[in-house]
Amino acid sequence: MAQPIKITSKIRLRDFDPGYDAGLDKEKTREKTTALAQQIGELQQLLYADRNRSLILLFQGMDTSGKDGASKRVLEFVTPAGVETANFKAPTSEELAHDFLWRIHKRVPRYGNIGVFNRSQYEDVLVVRVLNLVPKSVWQLRYGQINAFEKILTDNNVIVLKFFLHISKEEQAKRLRARLEDPTKHWKFDINDLKMRAYWKQFQQAYEDALNCCSTPYAPWHVVPADHKWFRDYVIATTVVDALKKLHMAWPKPKLDLSKIRIK
């Protein structure tokens, strides 16, 4: 089984084990994730001070795969003021009256901030394709359109990190059952999730195509084994820290000569 990877060549999703954990120790890894999350908090301050770049953490995955849980964990130490979250649900009539990227572009985080996309432009080649919401001739063109859109973003200093949270069908069954059995999770149960679960195979195929068609050098996809929440969070936190460190950010130099300023 393949390791969690940044996708650089054609993949088959079935080669990836959703239960992969690299043989790591759960508790020790959790501690490492906490340290990484603290680093993300510090690096975001630099991002904010610099205000020349922003970062999108884009999460896709089947229901219960942990799209909310992962962002909660890795952004634990980031000031709320530095985070902009967007949850993309079924489009409103106003959104449907525009091109599919219109609502997405509006939610791109301002420079200095981290944006969380819980679902994204990819729904338009995932659920839309699986449920036949538009003809194939329409969704087929969208892979190229998404790549062009992400090129525009990255050319304009928006870093795009895309995470596919890969869970197994068995693990999803466990998590859905927990939502039925645990009163503190009842509110999470959505009968619609069962409808989508019935299309498991079709979704896996649609994900595989999205990963293969839209993993570009400027905005690669990452397949994250997500059956173990602690491993999922560790992989994501590591990827975010690496991406932010690569920017070699420093505290901006003052535009004025501060040594000459006196406060009376």
Give the one entry of ligand AMP, Mg ion, none that residue 170 binds, where binding means its C-beta sits below a cut-off of 5 to 8 angstroms depending on kind: none
DSSP codes of every residue in 110-153: PTT-EEEEES-GGGGGTHHHHTTSS-HHHHHHHHHHHHHHHHHH
**Which of these ranges, 120-128, 137-145, 157-165, 180-188, lies near ligand AMP under the rule CB under 6 A?**
120-128
Minimum distance from CB of 188 to Mg ion (Å)?
8
In the structure, how many helices (H) and strands (E) does the chain have? 10, 6
The rounded Cα 131 to chain-centroid distance in angstroms is 23
Per CB under 5 A, contacts with Mg ion among 180-199 are: 190
Binding of ligand AMP at residue 91 (CB under 6 A)?
yes
CB atoms within 10 A of CB 84: 17
- CA distances to 33, 82, 95, 135 from 104, rounded to whole Å, are 29, 19, 10, 21
Name the one range near ligand AMP by CB under 6 A: 89-97, 134-142, 206-214, 227-235. Answer: 89-97
Q: Is 123 in the site for Mg ion (CB under 5 A)?
A: no
Quote the CA–CA distance of 48 and 60 in Å, as a whole number.
26
DSSP state of 16: B
CA distance 238 to 222: 12
# chain residues binding Mg ion, by CB under 5 A: 2
Task: Give the residue with the Cβ less far from ligand AMP, 81 or 90.
Answer: 90
Min separation Cβ 187 and Mg ion, Å: 12
Q: By CB under 5 A, is residue 63 in contact with Mg ion?
A: yes
Binding mask 80-119 for Mg ion (x = CB under 5 A): ----------------------------------------
| 227: contact with Mg ion by CB under 5 A | no
- The binder of ligand AMP chosen from 55, 58, 75, 128 (CB under 6 A): 128
Contact partner at residue 119 from ligand AMP, Mg ion, none, CB < 5 to 8 Å by partner kind: ligand AMP
User: Closest CB to ligand AMP among 53 and 142?
Assistant: 142
Q: Of ligand AMP, Mg ion, none, which one does residue 90 interact with (CB within 5 to 8 Å by kind)?
A: ligand AMP
Report the alpha-carbon distance of residue 57 to residue 236 in Å, rounded: 9
Residue 141 near residue 162 (C-beta atoms within 8 A): no
Q: Find which of Mg ion, ligand AMP, none residue 124 binds, CB within 5 to 8 Å per kind.
A: ligand AMP
Residue 124 contacts by C-beta under 8 Å, 6 or more apart in sequence?
100, 139, 142
Q: In what order do the strands lie in the sheet with 221-225?
A: 5-6, 221-225, 158-166, 54-61, 114-118, 83-87
Choice from 53, 119, 162, 175 touching ligand AMP (CB under 6 A) = 119
Q: How near is the Cβ of 194 to Mg ion at its closest, in Å?
A: 10
Per CB under 6 A, does 88 bind ligand AMP? yes
- Using CB under 5 A as the criterion, which residues of the chain lie in contact with Mg ion when the complex forms? 63, 190
